[in-house]
């Protein structure tokens, strides 16, 4: 008994030391500073920026069918057939025309291949076909675009060093993303990086015009279906120009393998980039075929940033200039490195939470927690006498384990999380009340103190375990389906409940056994 008690006591002391270290770490700059370094505060406590963004997933569908048009034209080159998207209002529809009558079988075989299984293919007569993207495939592309946008934004924010950001789907609207950035030092810059799509592409230039009206006069039949008119700089500091570009990009944002801020020969900031192997080969073929005669436009976020003549073949390395500041060059290269967003994003909502509100919330939450803890401690001492000290020690250790776990795991403490801490105190008291009342019943039946403690814990254990498991299951549901603050509540509640089982059953039992071991067996009395 004595050896077993010593090992249990040693284990409890070890747990106490480990989780105390989890709270404070190696103290430097005072205990308060160490605590602040270890416990991460959420947006509602620390202050920061709250954003709701909407992803325009239709653009991802349009880009997907653009790529399929390019692949189809390559595959159909030998048959005389051509693929095009003739109706801008329906980017999911591809029209096939121009195939010779003797090549109909070959054309049909290409269209019904496995790589185009996501399309419904129908004949339009005269050797033509219509390919319509299936609804299920559209939904898949849209969901992938939303998930990719979340991953890309998260990678950008992590690269900037924003602590404990919340970036997740926002369940209150279609294709929306919730972004919460606690304690951002430069919210304007971070917001610009998140909202900017960094959708950088390189397009072939068909023509340039001084105004939109001039472009319309030059194209009386309207802008061709395979082209688009974009506004941009003329590169000389003069008025903006309008450029007619091939709609299908030569190089798209996903083709960039790396990008770094740099400076040109005059010391002005610019960006150097590397393309993937496949994109480099494609870029080489285009620039080699058009060197000396063609032009290409660098398009960022649907605006022409630079137009350059093709002086020679370019493979997988290039340079982007355009009057960037150092911060702009650094931000753009960061966005290209972390991946281009699959679709543009619009800014729906922003709220800035000031640190004063966070400080008030922390103060009120801490006051409520301390007040609740003190009242509970006093009540347990008054009602259960000596055994109340046992319960109080278990409660304090419960809080140490909870905060220590948050320090080790890097979990974020939010205002709902503080509510979870307070609820954990209540659950801890409930467990001790169940045990103590059961021990009192055993004592009233005439059992010895040792037998009453043993039977009391044994009989109360089932009830304690059942109540805690059901509450943990409820917290798990909140974590799976809730948003950031609700998840914070679920995390603190779950950890607190697990710690409570350890303290209320294991620690409390060890203290009882220690007290009984100091008295004569069979004659010992409990202050309960």
Divide the 528 residues of the chain into consecutive groups of 10 and give the mean pLDDT of each group. Answer: 77 89 74 70 74 86 86 83 85 86 84 87 85 92 87 75 75 80 68 63 87 86 84 65 87 76 81 82 86 81 77 77 72 66 78 67 75 84 86 87 83 78 83 89 86 88 89 89 76 88 88 79 64
Among candidate residues 219, 238, 508, 239, the one with its CA nearest the CA of residue 229? 219
Name residue, tokens 């090992």: 7
Among candidate residues 415, 358, 366, the one with its CA nearest the CA of residue 46? 358
pTM over 0.85: no
Per-residue H/E/C for 132-199: EECHHHHHHHHHHHHHHHHHHHHHHHHHHCCCCCEEEECCCCCCEEEEEEECCCCHHHHHHHHHCCCC
Yes or no: say if 500 and 427 are a contact pair by the CB < 8 Å rule. yes
What beta strand segments (E) does 301-404 contain? 303-309, 317-320, 345-353
Quote helix, strand, coil % in the chain, to nearest 5: 55, 20, 25
Q: Where does residue 420 rank: exposed (0-12), middle (13-18), buried (19+ CB within 10 A)?
A: buried
**Residue 356 CB neighbours (<10 A):** 9
- Our CA angle for 261, 266, 271, nearest 5°, is 20
pLDDT in the model for residue 175: 87
- Our CA angle for 21, 22, 24, nearest 5°, is 65
How many angstroms separate the CA atoms of 242 and 104, rounded? Answer: 41
**Residue 360 CB neighbours (<10 A):** 12
Q: Which domains does the chain have, with CATH numbers?
A: 2-45+356-517 (1.20.1640.10), 57-138 (3.30.70), 196-351 (3.30.1360.200)
Name residue, tokens 């950031």: 484
Kind and range of the H or E run holding 207:
strand 200-209
pLDDT in the model for residue 136: 93
pLDDT in the model for residue 149: 85
pLDDT in the model for residue 375: 86
Please give the order of strands across the beta sheet that includes 317-320: 256-263, 269-275, 317-320
What's the CA dihedral at 158, 160, 164, 167 to 10 degrees? -60
pLDDT in the model for residue 1: 53
- Our CA angle for 111, 116, 122, nearest 5°, is 50
Please, which residues have CB within 8 angstroms of residue 65's CB and are 6 or more apart in sequence? 85, 91, 92, 94, 133
User: Residue 101 has which token pair?
Assistant: 């009558």
Please, which residues have CB within 8 angstroms of residue 128's CB and are 6 or more apart in sequence? 95, 96, 97, 99
Q: Where does residue 311 rank: exposed (0-12), middle (13-18), buried (19+ CB within 10 A)?
A: exposed
How many angstroms separate the CA atoms of 180 and 142, rounded? Answer: 23
What beta strand segments (E) does 264-414 contain? 269-275, 295-300, 303-309, 317-320, 345-353, 412-413
Q: Which residue pairs, CB below 8 angstroms and at least 24 apart, start in 478-486?
A: 483/168, 483/170, 483/171, 483/178, 484/42, 484/43, 484/166, 484/168, 484/178, 484/180, 484/414, 485/42, 485/44, 485/414, 485/415, 485/416, 485/417, 486/416
How many angstroms separate the CA atoms of 32 and 409, rounded? Answer: 19
How many angstroms separate the CA atoms of 201 and 255, rounded? Answer: 9
């Amino acid at each position: 008994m004595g050896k077993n008690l010593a090992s249990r006591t040693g284990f409890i002391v070890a747990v106490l030391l480990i989780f105390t270290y989890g709270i404070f770490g190696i103290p430097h700059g005072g205990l308060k500073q160490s605590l602040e370094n270890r416990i991460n505060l959420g947006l509602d406590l620390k202050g920061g920026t709250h954003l709701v963004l909407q992803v325009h997933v239709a653009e991802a569908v349009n880009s997907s069918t653009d790529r399929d048009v390019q692949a189809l034209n390559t595959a159909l080159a030998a048959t005389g057939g051509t693929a095009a998207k003739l109706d801008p209002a329906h980017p999911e529809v591809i029209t096939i025309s121009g195939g010779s009558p003797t090549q109909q079988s070959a054309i049909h075989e290409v269209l019904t291949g496995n790589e185009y299984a996501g399309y419904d293919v129908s004949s339009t007569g005269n050797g033509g076909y219509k390919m319509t993207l299936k609804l299920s495939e559209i939904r898949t592309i849209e969901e992938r675009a939303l998930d990719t946008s979340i991953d890309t934004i998260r990678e950008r924010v992590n690269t900037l060093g924003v602590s404990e950001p919340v970036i997740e789907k926002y369940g209150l609207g279609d294709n929306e993303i919730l972004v919460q950035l606690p304690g951002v030092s430069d919210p304007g810059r971070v917001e610009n990086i998140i909202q900017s799509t960094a959708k950088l592409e390189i397009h072939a230039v068909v023509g340039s015009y001084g105004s939109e009206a001039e472009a319309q006069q030059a194209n009386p039949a309207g802008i061709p279906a395979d082209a688009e008119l974009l506004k941009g700089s003329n590169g000389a500091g003069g008025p903006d120009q309008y450029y007619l570009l091939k709609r299908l990009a030569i190089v798209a944002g996903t083709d960039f393998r790396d990008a770094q801020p740099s400076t040109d020969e005059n010391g002005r900031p610019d960006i150097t980039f590397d393309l993937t192997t496949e994109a480099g080969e494609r870029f080489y073929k285009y620039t080699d075929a058009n060197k000396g005669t063609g032009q290409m436009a660098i398009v960022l976020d649907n605006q022409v940033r630079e137009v350059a003549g093709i002086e020679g073949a370019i493979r997988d390395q290039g340079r982007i200039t355009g009057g960037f500041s150092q911060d702009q060059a650094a931000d753009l290269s960061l966005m290209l490195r972390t991946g281009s967003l699959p679709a543009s994003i619009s800014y729906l909502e922003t709220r800035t939470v000031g640190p004063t509100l966070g400080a008030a919330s922390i103060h009120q939450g801490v006051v409520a927690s301390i007040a609740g803890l003190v009242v509970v401690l006093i009540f347990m001492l008054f009602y259960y006498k000596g055994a109340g000290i046992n319960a109080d020690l278990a409660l304090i250790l419960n809080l140490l384990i909870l905060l220590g776990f948050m320090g080790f795991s890097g979990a974020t403490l939010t205002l709902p999380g503080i509510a979870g801490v307070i609820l954990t105190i209540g659950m801890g008291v409930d467990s001790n009340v169940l045990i103590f009342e059961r021990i009192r019943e055993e004592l009233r039946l005439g059992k010895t103190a040792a037998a009453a403690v043993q039977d009391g814990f044994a009989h109360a254990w089932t009830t304690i375990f059942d109540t805690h498991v059901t509450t943990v299951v409820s917290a798990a549901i909140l974590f799976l389906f809730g948003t950031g603050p609700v998840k914070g509540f679920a995390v603190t509640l779950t950890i607190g409940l697990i710690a409570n089982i350890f303290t209320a059953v294991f620690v409390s039992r060890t203290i009882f056994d220690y007290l009984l071991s100091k008295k004569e067996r069979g004659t010992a009395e409990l202050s309960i």
